[in-house]
Structure 1
Amino acid sequence: MTRSVAADPPALSEPTRRILQRLGNPFRNYFARNPDDEVCARYHVPELFAEERQLLHAIIDQYRYQPRLHSEVVPVLGNKGAGKTHLLHSIKHGEGGQWQLLVTPGVYQRECDFLEYLLFQILDTLLGGGRQKGLRPLEYIGERLLRQALLQTLPQLPDNALLDLFPAGGLGRWGRRLGWGLAQARQRRHQLLEGLQAAEQAPPFLAPPSLLALLHQTGVEPERLLPLFDHFRNEGDPRNPAGLMRRFILRGFAHAILRRDEAELANFLTYGFAELEFHVRPTRQDLVLALFKVLMDLFASLHIPVVVAFDQLEDLLLVRRGDDVHRTAEAFFAGIVQVLHQLDGLCFLIFAERGLWNRFVPSLDGYIQDRLTHPVHVAGYGTVSAVRLEAPPPELVRQVIAARLRPCHAELPPEEVLSDIFPFREEQVQRIARTEPTLRDMLQQCRHLYDHLVYGPAEWEAGSPPPSRITSTLEAVENEATAAGVTLRQVDVIEIPAESAPACGDEAPAESPIPPAEAASSTATVPPAPGEVPAAIPVASCPEPVPSAARTTLTPQMMAELWDQEHRTARRQLEPEGALTGATRELQAALGQFLAHCLEHGVKVGPWRLQHVVPEYVFSDHPTYGVVSLGYWACKDGQPWKVAVGLFLARGAGKPRELEIKFSLFDQQPPPLDLLVLLRPEDDLSLTGRSKKLWSEAEQRGHLARLEPASLDTLAQIYAFPRWLAALRESLPEGVPLPNLADLIQQKCEHLLTQVCMPVHT
C-alpha cells in the first residue's frame, strides 16, 4: 500500500470551534430506528438508492394498475447498515411515487394466526395517527371513497332528495311545493360534481381540495349527505354478509370524514363485523378472511396498492438462537405463503440482511422456499428475484455527508465554510467512502472524525488520516513526518480485538475531549503497531484509538433517549379518536412481549416476581376480544398467582360484549387464571347498564377481577415497547445480546408494572 502525506489543513478558528461544539455532532444519529424516523427525512439525499427506489415503485405500481394481481414477495437484501430502513422510509414518506397504503407490522407471536395478525396490522395503520406522504391513511382513503360514491349517487338523486340536499334560502323555502329552487339545486349539484371530478383527476403531485372544502364552496351542509350513505348500495355489491360489511365500512368512513367521528368505523372493524347476522355462524378464521377480502376489494376499487413491508427481521432469521426462535420464523414465513394463496393484491417487501437470508431460507420447507424466492416480472426491468443494496459510490457518500453538515454551515460565517463538507477534507471523505463496507460504517467513522476535529486538540496533526480501522497504525508512523512527500510502502495492517491489542508505548496517550454522550457510547479498538519502520522516520507516541463501528455499546442514557423517542411516536399514533380501538390487538401483543421481557430480565414488583408468561392466550371465537396475556406472579416460597391481563377498549355496544367475552375465561376448566386485570382508558372508566350487571354477577360468583385506569401515556408505553426493543437491537452489532433492561423498565414503567401485577401492600 502506498500513501503520501498531504499538506496541513487550516486549523479551526476558536469562534468556529465553539459554534460547532454548541451545535453538536451531526453524525451522532447514524442509523434509522424505524421507517418513520424523522432523521431519514432530515438528511435525505434523493440520489441515494434512486435506482432501487424506482424499481420498488415500479413493482408497487403493478398493483395499482392491476389491483387484483396475484400476491408476491420481493426480498430487499443488504448488509446491516446498508440503508434498508432509510430506503423504506423514502418509499413511505418521500415525494417520489404515488400514494400507497404501506403497512410496517409490529411484533409477531407464533400463537397468533398469521392472517389475523396481518389484518389487525392493517387496521392499526388505517385508524392510527401516523402519516404517509403527509396524509393519514383514514383521511386519504375516506376522501377517495366518498368522492367516488358521490359521483355515482348524486346524478341519480330524485328532485325531492335534491331539494333536501341543496335547500333554497330565504323565500325559496316557501315556494318549494311549487317547484321553486329546483333549477338552482341542479346547478349546485353540477358545480359539486365538477369539483369532485376534478379532485379525482388531480395529478399525484398536486393535493386536491378536501371534500369538506368542496361542500363549503357549494353551500352543502355535511350532515345532509350522511343519509345518502346509510343505505348506500353499489351496483356490484352482493346481497350477502360481504356486501353488508362493505356498506357498514362506507358508512363509517362517511361519519369519519363528514362528522370527524371515527368511533363508528373503528367499532365496526373491531367489533361490529363479528356481530352481523349469519345464517351459519362462521369460524374465527372465516370471519377474519371475510373482512380482509372486503377491505382488499375496497382498496382495489380505489386502485390503492397495499404494501406490507417487514423490516428488521434479524431475530427471526438468526437460527442459531434456538429451536423455539426457528419454529417462530417457520410459522411466520409459512403464514406469508398461506396469505399468498388466500388473498390477491398484496405486495410483500421483506427487508433483510443478505447473509442471514441466504443462510436461513434453505432451511425452510421446499414449498415455502419456492414462494419466497419466486421471481417477479416487472415491465422495463425484466425478471426480478430480489433487490440488492450495495455500498454507495464515493460521490453519493459525499452528498450524504454534505447533507448532514448543511445545518451546521448555516450557523457559521460564510467565509469560514471552505467547502460543503467543511470541516472535512476531500481525501478524508474519499478514503472513508472507499474503505468502509456500509453506509452506517461510513457515517460512524465521520462521527469519530468530527469529534476529533471539533472536540479534539486545537491544532490538527500533519497528514492525519480520518478515523478508520487502519488509523492508529498509519498515524504511528506519520505523525511527526514532514509534509514534503514522505512515502510509506508495504504497511501490513492486521485487525485484532481491543482486549488483546498490545500497548503502543510506555505511557498512555493523552485523551482528546469528547462529549460525554459520545464517549459513553463507544469503546476503543487498538490495532497492533507496524512491524518495521525505517530508522530515519521517528515513531510518534501512540494516538488515542478511534472506536470501531463494530464495538459500539448501548449506555443507559442512549437507551433512555430511544425510549423517549419511541414513546412520543407511539403517542402521536394513538391520539386520534379511533386509533386506540384499531390498535387493540397490536397493544395486546405488545403487552405480552412486555411481560415476557419482564420475566427474561428479572423485573421485580415489590415482593412479586414473574415465574412464567404466556404472551398471547387465545380463548374465544371473537378475533378482537378473545385474547389476553397470562403472567404467573409469585412471592418467595409462595404459590404463583395466575394473572390474566387484557385490554378493555371497546366503546358503545361493544363494551358489554367485550366484558362478557373476557369473563368467559373463568368458565374454562381448569380455569387458566386466578385474577383478571383489565386496562381501561381513564376517560371512560365507569360501568353502566349491562356492563355493570356483568361485573356484579362475576363478583357474586367469586371471580376476582380488577379494572385499572390506563392513560394515553400508559397505553403509548405498551405500544412503543416492541419498537423500542427493535431500535435497541438495530443499534447493536450482529450477535451481541441486549443488555439487562430491568432497571430501565422499572424506572420508565413503574406505574404500569403495579397495574399488571398482584397488589403490593406497603
Structure 2
Amino acid sequence: MSKACEEQAIRFLRGEENPFDAFVVSDKPAQEFPQCHVQEVHGEQFEQIGRAIDKYRYPAYRTRRQLHETRVLIVRGVRGSGKTHLLHVLRQRATPTPEIWVCPRYYDPAFPFAEYVLTEFVRELLSAEDAEAPARLRWSARELTRQLLREAVASLSLPEWLEWSGSASDGWSRLRRARRSQADREALLDDLAAGRSLALLDEICGRHGLSSAAAAGLVTRHVERTELGSGSAVRMRREVLLAFGDLALRNTPDRLASLLEQDFAQPEAALPPARAEVVTQLLQTAAEVLAAVGVPIVFALDNMERLLAPRGPVDMPAAQSFFNGLAHFLDQTRGMLVVLFVERGLWNEFGPAINSFAEHRLRQGVRVRDYGCVWDLELTPPTPDQIERVVQRRMSPLLARAPQADQLPPCFPFASDEVRQIATAGVDVLRTALLRLRDRYDELVLPDHQQIQKTTEPESEASPPATADEAADALRRTWEEAAATGRRRLGMSRRTSLAQELHTGLGRWLELLLGQQVHGWRLSEARSAVTFGDHPAFGSVTLATWQDEQGRPCRVALGPILGEGRAMPRDLEIKLSALQQRPSLADQLVVLWPVQQGPIEAKQLPPATRQIWEQSAATRPVWLCPLPMTDFAWLLGLPEWLAQHSATASASESLCSFILERTSYLLADLTPRQSAEGLSAIGDRQSVQVTNDK
C-alpha cells in the first residue's frame, strides 16, 4: 500500500463515524447491531444455548408427555463481557419456526412467581411494542388452525363434507356436484398438508369451496369432539384452541387477548380452580399449544441488577423470593426454558439468597448433543484472533467505500500486530478492547488537535459535581422521559397487561412518601400488590396504612379497575370483595378508575358496572377516585426512574420532595374517609397541605 493511498483513506475515514463507538448494547439493539456481531466471539456458548432451545422445538408433538421439563441455563460473565449482545444474537438467529422470547423489565416479589411469569408471557405474546410480535402470534395461530382444520376435514364423510361446503343438492346434477366437491376436498387436504404456506387460511379454503365461516365451524366441532372432559385443564385447552382459530380464520384477536389476560379464571365453573392452579394450567396449556407448531418459549432475564438490585445493594428478600419462586416454577411446569444472564460478581452476591432447594433445581440443566448436561456457561475473555475479527468486521463497511479499497489491509488503519498487542495487554472483557480500539482509532485517523480525550482521565480533571439546579433539571428531564414512555406503553398495550407494573409503581411511590401527613393522617406503611381471592388478573390491591393523631391505624386498599368491556363489572366486583376477606385485608377501599381527565362519579359508570356499584358500595367504606391517564403513565415509569436516581448520596430526600411537589393531589385523594359523607365520589381536586414528620 502506497503512502498516497494511505493518506487518501485516512482523509476519507475522518468524515465517517468511529466504528468502535458502539461498545455498550442497549436493551433494544440499534439498526447497526448486525454489523457489530462476530460469530467467533462466544460462539461455543451461542451453540450450546441454541441447541438447548432447539430441544424445546417439537417437530411432531402429540401429547404432554413429550414436553421436556422446564429447566434453567445460567450465563455468567463480568460486566462488559457481552451478555446482552449474546442475548440479542440468540433472538435474531435464523430458525425454522418463530420463537417466543420473554424478557421481563421488572420484578416485584409481592406477586406470586407464576403470575409474574404469566403476565410477562402474555404481554410478549400480545405485544404491540414489538413489531414482530403480531406476526409471530398470527403465524402460530395459522399453523395451529391449519392442523386442526385438516384433521376436521379428513374426519368428515362425503355427505358431511357436501353439507359443510354447501355443495349438497337434489336432482340430476347431484352426482356431478358430489364428484367435483370430493375433488375439492382432496385438493384442500393436500394444500393444508403442504406445510407452512404464507397464504391465509381463508384464501386456501375459498379456493376449494369452503367459506371461512364454515371452516371456523368445522374447527369448533372438531375441538369439541376431540377435547373431551369437564375438568378445568380440558376446558382451558378448548378455549385456547378456539381462540387461536378465531384469530386465524376470522381475524379477531380480542377473544384470545381477553382469554389470556382475564377470562382464563373460569369463574362460571361449578368448582372454580384455585388461583395458583389456574395460572399454572394456562402457562402449561400455552406451552402445549405452541409446541404443537414447533414454537419454543424462552424466558430470558438480563440486567439482573435492575430486577434484584435496583437501589445498588442486592435486595435479599426479593432475591430469595425470586429464586424460590423460580425453583417451584421448574417443578410445576414443562416445555419452557429459562435463561439467566448474570454478572459474575452479582451472582456471587446472590449466594445467601439461594437455598439448597433452589440450588439443586438450578443445577439440573439441559442435556444437549455433543455437550452433555449444560447449565452454567461462563463468558470467557476474547482471544487475539477474535479481537482481530471484530476489527475486520467493523471496518469492513467503511473500507468497502474508501478510495482504492482493494489496496487496503482488512484491519486498516490498524496494523495486525497492533490489534494483537491491544488484545493481549490486560484485556479481560470485550468492552475493554473496544474502548482501547476506539481511542487508538482516533489517534490514527484524526489530526492531533482534534483527538478526543482518553478514556482514563486523571482524577484531578474529573468533572465537578452537578449543581442543585443541574440536579433538578436532570430530575425533571428524566421524569418527563419516564412519563412519555408510560404514555407510549398505555397507547400500545391493554390495561390488564399493565396491572402488575401499576401496582409496583403505586407501591414504590407510597414507600417514598412514608411519613407524609395529609388531613391529620400520617402514611406509615405501604405494600404493593397484596393478592386475595382466586382471580389472578383482578385479585390484587396495593395497601396503604395511615395513622391518625392518636396513632390509630387505618388500612386503605387501592384497587385500580383495569378490566375493559364485559370484564369491567367482574373487575369491580372482585375489588369490592377485598373488604370481605377473612382475615381482614383492609378497612377502607379506594377504587381507582382510569379516566382521560376530570372527576368520576357513579352515574358515569357503564350500566352493568354501575349496578354492581350501587348494590355493593352504598353500605361499605369505599369511594371512587379518578386515575387520569397522565397519572397512570408516570406510575408505570416510576420504578425505572427511581432506579436511575437512587444511587446519589441525598437521593431519598431530594426524590421525596420532587415527587411530593408533583403528586400531592393524588396522595390527598387516598387518605381515609371518616364519615359516610366522605364516601361519595371525588369531585374537583383541591390543593392540600402535605407535611413531613420524618
Q: TM-score range by the shorter chain?
A: 0.7 to 0.9
2:612 is the counterpart of 1:694? yes
2:93 is the counterpart of 1:91? no
Name the aligned partner's letter for residue 531 of structure 2.
V
Trace 1:671-750 onto structure 2 (pairs within 5 A): 671-673=586-588, 675-679=590-594, 687-697=605-615, 700-701=618-619, 703-710=622-629, 740=651
Rounded Cα–Cα distance in structure 2 between residues aligned with 1:247 and 1:384: 36
> How far is the alpha carbon of 1:571 from its aligned partner?
7.5
Counterpart of 1:514? none
2:687 is the counterpart of 1:761? yes
Rounded Cα–Cα distance in structure 2 between residues aligned with 1:756 and 1:295: 40
More displaced stretch, 665-674 vs 629-638: 629-638
Rounded Cα–Cα distance in structure 2 between residues aligned with 1:559 and 1:410: 44
CA spacing shift, 1:17–1:73, aligned 2, 3 Å: closer
2:277 is the counterpart of 1:286? yes
Among 240, 244, 249, the residue aligned to 2:231: 240
Counterpart of 1:138? 137
CA spacing shift, 1:672–1:566, aligned 2, 3 Å: same
2:307 is the counterpart of 1:381? no
More displaced stretch, 441-450 vs 286-295: 441-450
Rounded Cα–Cα distance in structure 1 between residues aligned with 2:253 and 2:321: 34
Counterpart of 1:350? 340
**Which runs of 5 or more residues in structure 1 are unaligned?**
1-6, 201-206, 473-497, 502-507, 509-521, 525-552
CA spacing shift, 1:373–1:425, aligned 2, 3 Å: same
Secondary structure of 2:341 counterpart:
strand
Rounded Cα–Cα distance in structure 2 between residues aligned with 1:185 and 1:572: 51
CA spacing shift, 1:93–1:13, aligned 2, 3 Å: closer
2:428 is the counterpart of 1:437? yes
Secondary structure of 1:244 counterpart:
helix
With normalisation by structure 2, the TM-score equals: 0.77
Secondary structure of 2:625 counterpart:
strand
1:226-267 per-residue CA deviation (whole Å, 9 max, x = no partner) reads 222334236365442221111111121122222332211122
With normalisation by structure 1, the TM-score equals: 0.71
Rounded Cα–Cα distance in structure 1 between residues aligned with 2:385 and 2:549: 63
Rounded Cα–Cα distance in structure 2 between residues aligned with 1:338 and 1:377: 21
Q: Does the CA-based 8 Å contact 1:676-1:705 persist in structure 2? A: yes
Rounded Cα–Cα distance in structure 1 between residues aligned with 2:162 and 2:394: 60
Counterpart of 1:658? 571
Name the aligned partner's letter for residue 374 of structure 2.
V
CA spacing shift, 1:580–1:401, aligned 2, 3 Å: farther
Counterpart of 1:181? 177
1:354-379 per-residue CA deviation (whole Å, 9 max, x = no partner) reads 23324533663222222222344322
Rounded Cα–Cα distance in structure 2 between residues aligned with 1:333 and 1:449: 44
Number of residue pairs aligned between Structure 1 and Structure 2? 650
> How far is the alpha carbon of 1:719 from its aligned partner?
5.1
Name the aligned partner's letter for residue 119 of structure 1.
L
CA spacing shift, 1:288–1:760, aligned 2, 3 Å: same
Secondary structure of 2:541 counterpart:
strand
2:112 is the counterpart of 1:79? no
Counterpart of 2:101? 102
Among 312, 325, 328, the residue aligned to 2:315: 325
Counterpart of 1:595? 509
Rounded Cα–Cα distance in structure 1 between residues aligned with 2:656 and 2:399: 39
The Cα RMSD (Å) is: 5.0
Counterpart of 1:536? none
More displaced stretch, 637-646 vs 282-291: 637-646
> How far is the alpha carbon of 1:75 from its aligned partner?
0.9
Counterpart of 2:692? none
> How far is the alpha carbon of 1:278 from its aligned partner?
3.4
Secondary structure of 1:588 counterpart:
helix
Among 246, 252, 257, the residue aligned to 1:255: 246
1:624-655 per-residue CA deviation (whole Å, 9 max, x = no partner) reads 00112345799999999976544433233311
> How far is the alpha carbon of 1:389 from its aligned partner?
0.8
Secondary structure of 1:675 counterpart:
strand
CA spacing shift, 1:139–1:333, aligned 2, 3 Å: same
1:320-345 per-residue CA deviation (whole Å, 9 max, x = no partner) reads 967x9212211211111112222222
Q: Does the CA-based 8 Å contact 2:261-2:497 persist in structure 1? A: no
Rounded Cα–Cα distance in structure 1 between residues aligned with 2:114 and 2:504: 18
Counterpart of 1:49? 42
Trace 1:453-464 onto structure 2 (pairs within 5 A): 457-458=448-449
Secondary structure of 2:563 counterpart:
coil
> How far is the alpha carbon of 1:588 from its aligned partner?
3.2
Rounded Cα–Cα distance in structure 2 between residues aligned with 1:56 and 1:581: 34
2:622 is the counterpart of 1:623? no
Counterpart of 2:194? 198
Rounded Cα–Cα distance in structure 1 between residues aligned with 2:649 and 2:438: 24
> How far is the alpha carbon of 1:441 from its aligned partner?
2.7
Counterpart of 2:676? none
Q: Does the CA-based 8 Å contact 1:649-1:681 persist in structure 2? A: no
1:194-227 per-residue CA deviation (whole Å, 9 max, x = no partner) reads 2222224xxxxxx744434534554654333222
Rounded Cα–Cα distance in structure 2 between residues aligned with 1:420 and 1:608: 71
Counterpart of 2:677? none
> How far is the alpha carbon of 1:348 from its aligned partner?
1.7
1:278-314 per-residue CA deviation (whole Å, 9 max, x = no partner) reads 3434321222223233223323333433222222223
Among 38, 52, 58, the residue aligned to 1:59: 52
Rounded Cα–Cα distance in structure 2 between residues aligned with 1:604 and 1:124: 37
Counterpart of 1:33? 26
Secondary structure of 2:224 counterpart:
coil
Rounded Cα–Cα distance in structure 2 between residues aligned with 1:375 and 1:17: 48
Rounded Cα–Cα distance in structure 2 between residues aligned with 1:441 and 1:83: 11
Name the aligned partner's letter for residue 269 of structure 2.
F
> How far is the alpha carbon of 1:658 from its aligned partner?
0.4
Secondary structure of 1:704 counterpart:
strand
> How far is the alpha carbon of 1:126 from its aligned partner?
1.7
**Which runs of 5 or more residues in structure 2 are unaligned?**
59-64, 465-469, 670-684, 689-694
CA spacing shift, 1:364–1:17, aligned 2, 3 Å: closer
Q: Does the CA-based 8 Å contact 1:123-1:583 persist in structure 2? A: yes
CA spacing shift, 1:744–1:192, aligned 2, 3 Å: farther
1:608-629 per-residue CA deviation (whole Å, 9 max, x = no partner) reads 9976432212233211001123
Rounded Cα–Cα distance in structure 2 between residues aligned with 1:643 and 1:417: 75
CA spacing shift, 1:725–1:67, aligned 2, 3 Å: farther
More displaced stretch, 76-85 vs 41-50: 41-50
1:415-434 per-residue CA deviation (whole Å, 9 max, x = no partner) reads 79956555555555444433
CA spacing shift, 1:593–1:296, aligned 2, 3 Å: same
Rounded Cα–Cα distance in structure 1 between residues aligned with 2:509 and 2:236: 36
CA spacing shift, 1:359–1:184, aligned 2, 3 Å: same
Rounded Cα–Cα distance in structure 2 between residues aligned with 1:647 and 1:26: 48
> How far is the alpha carbon of 1:84 from its aligned partner?
0.9
Name the aligned partner's letter for residue 761 of structure 1.
S
Rounded Cα–Cα distance in structure 2 between residues aligned with 1:217 and 1:304: 28
Q: Does the CA-based 8 Å contact 1:402-1:420 persist in structure 2? A: yes
1:14-49 per-residue CA deviation (whole Å, 9 max, x = no partner) reads 9757733xx5x5544432232666564463333432
2:68 is the counterpart of 1:69? yes
Trace 1:244-643 onto structure 2 (pairs within 5 A): 244-314=235-305, 325-361=315-351, 364-404=354-394, 426=416, 429-434=419-424, 435-449=426-440, 457-458=448-449, 467=454, 498-499=458-459, 579-580=493-494, 583-592=497-506, 595=509, 599=513, 612-630=525-543
Rounded Cα–Cα distance in structure 2 between residues aligned with 1:584 and 1:306: 21
What is the percent sequence identity of the aligned residues? Answer: 25
Rounded Cα–Cα distance in structure 2 between residues aligned with 1:251 and 1:345: 21
2:12 is the counterpart of 1:19? no
Q: Does the CA-based 8 Å contact 2:72-2:375 persist in structure 1? A: no
